[in-house]
A and B are shown apart, each in its own frame.
Chain A
Amino acid sequence: EPEVTQTPSHQVTQMGQEVILRCVPISNHLYFYWYRQILGQKVEFLVSFYNNEISEKSEIFDDQFSVERPDGSNFTLKIRSTKLEDSAMYFCASSDFRQGGTYNEQFFGPGTRLTVL
């Protein structure tokens, strides 16, 4: 069964460093997403991406964040200068809107745990 994969599973970085979190969405999906979950808190939407551009983003997704689909398979989230409060589990998801856009099942990856020291 196709699945979303994410690498690495755990990333430790120093405050101020740049990190890139990688995701491989399901191959025929057209919409891609990043969510994050700070320990003990809600899963929060960060950004959605379609047709090589951001389709929606939350207020969390400020100038420190960027997303890219550098080739036909990867979808990346870059945090330019990490802060302590960026420590969280980051989930990638993808979906297929061929059903007329009315039903959206997002398939989630296992997450990358980011720890900022």
Chain B
Amino acid sequence: GEDVEQSLFLSVREGDSSVINCTYTDSSSTYLYWYKQEPGAGLQLLTYIFSNMDMKQDQRLTVLLNKKDKHLSLRIADTQTGDSAIYFCAEKGTGGFKTIFGAGTRLFVKA
């Protein structure tokens, strides 16, 4: 079945770049997403990439997609303490409504 895997923790210093990695199994994925969850809040869509793209940049965020290896990454430039949160990788296949999530990567930003 479909699966999304990501590492559980990442710690970086303020001002450094963060790179969060994710792998997925569904070769029919059409959209791949990055969600952010802050304490006590819901899942906030940060950015998404369509499967026919290999890169998307949005201000400090860069998403890279390697469709051959089914690998997705999120790079946060100039990481700030306010970026500390859990980041979820997710994918949606063709048809259907469900989104498949990874377990989330907890990003710690040290001042």
Which residues of A are interface residues toward B (Cβ below 8 A)?
4, 31, 33, 35, 40-45, 48, 50, 55-56, 58, 91, 93, 102-111
B residues within 8 Å of A by Cβ?
Answer: 4, 30-31, 35, 40-45, 48, 88, 90, 92, 96-104
Count of inter-chain pairs, beta carbons less than 8 A = 54
In the complex, what residues of B have CB within 8 A of residue A58's CB?
A: 98
Complex Cα distance, B4 from A33, in Å, reads 19
A41 vs B86: C-alpha distance when bound (angstroms): 12
Write the nearest CB–CB distance from B26 to chain A, whole angstroms.
Answer: 13
Contact B43 A108 (CB under 8 A): yes
Given A31-B97, A56-B96, A104-B31, also A42-B103 (CB < 8 A): yes
- Of B4, B44, B48, B103, which one neighbours A108 at CB under 8 angstroms? B44
Residues in B whose Cβ lies below 8 Å from that of A93: 43
Q: Are A48 and B98 also in contact (CB < 8 A) when A40-B103, A103-B31, A104-B92 are?
A: yes
A45-B100 contact, Cβ under 8 Å, with A103-B31, A104-B31, A104-B92: yes
How far is it, in angstroms, between the C-alpha of A31 and the C-alpha of B98 when the chains are bound? 11
Whole-angstrom distance between the alpha carbons of A42 and B88 in the complex? 9
Give, as a whole number of angstroms, the nearest-CB distance from B55 to chain A: 18
Give the residue of B4, B97, B101, B102 whose beta carbon is less than 8 angstroms from that of A56: B97
Beyond A48-B97, A48-B98, whether A91 also contacts B43 by CB under 8 A is yes
Contacts A104-B31, A105-B45, A110-B41 given; indicate if A44 touches B101 (C-beta within 8 A): yes
The 5 A-B residue pairs whose C-beta atoms are closest, nearest first, are: A108-B42, A43-B101, A48-B97, A45-B98, A108-B43
Residues of B within 8 A of A48 (CB): 97-98
A41-B103, A45-B98, A108-B43 known; 8 new pairs, CB 8 Å cut-off, are A33-B97, A43-B101, A56-B98, A58-B98, A103-B31, A104-B31, A105-B48, A111-B42
